[in-house]
Amino acid sequence: MAEQAQFEELARQLSAVGAVKRDLGRILPPDCPNGSAAVLTLLGRHGDMRMSKLAELLSVDMSVTSRHVAHVAARGWIERLPDPADKRSRILRLTPAGLAQLDELSRRTTHLLAERLADWTDEEVGQLIRLMTRLRDSFGDCRSASSACRVPAPVLEETTRTPANT
């Protein structure tokens, strides 16, 4: 178990990494904001899927997913096919135009990252990816796995003073 000071620092870095995300967002193609890019990326990586599955991968509410998907579909980058197994559902699929857009996305982001991280080693980038993935799992497992994280965290009452941590 890590120390409290570490958790504070981690929280700060999580907040600060937003600046990197914004930098990446600024170089996206026209009409393709972050939300659209995320949809295309996940469809390219995981293949055809339903809305609910995409919402889960995005870790956002399905209403949000619906908006992003509508935006992407309106530009012809994906199509929404009927699901023969369930008429309420829709299957999302990248179109050739969507694939081309995804290509462009990938080119831009990797170019920027390659430029900024020019002095990083392969191993360092891999390590960061592994740790971020694990971080996400440590949080995300709570959303699907209902038991473990369901423990409603000791509700902080007490005073406004920090107990001299361990």
Find the binding residues for its own copies in span 41-60 (CB under 8 A).
Answer: 41, 45, 59-60
User: 74-88 burial, b if ≥16 CB within 10 A, otherwise e?
Assistant: eeebbebeeeeeeee
* Per-residue tokens: 53: 């599955």
Total interface residues for DNA by CB under 7 A: 30
In the list its own copies, DNA, none, the entry touching 80 (Cβ below 5 to 8 angstroms by class) is: DNA
User: What's the order of all strands across the beta sheet hosting 90-94?
Assistant: 49-50, 90-94, 78-82
Least distance in angstroms from the C-beta of 87 to DNA = 3
98 in Cβ contact with 80 (< 8 Å): no
Residue 147 binds to its own copies (criterion: CB under 8 A):
no
> Which residue from 67, 133, 144, 147 is in contact with its own copies, where contact means CB under 8 A?
133
Helices assigned H by DSSP within 47-95? 51-58, 62-74
Least distance in angstroms from the C-beta of 134 to its own copies = 8
> Which residue from 49, 73, 91, 149 is in contact with its own copies, where contact means CB under 8 A?
149
**How many Cβ atoms are within 10 Å of 41's Cβ, its own excluded?**
15
> Which residue from 53, 71, 75, 108 is in contact with its own copies, where contact means CB under 8 A?
108
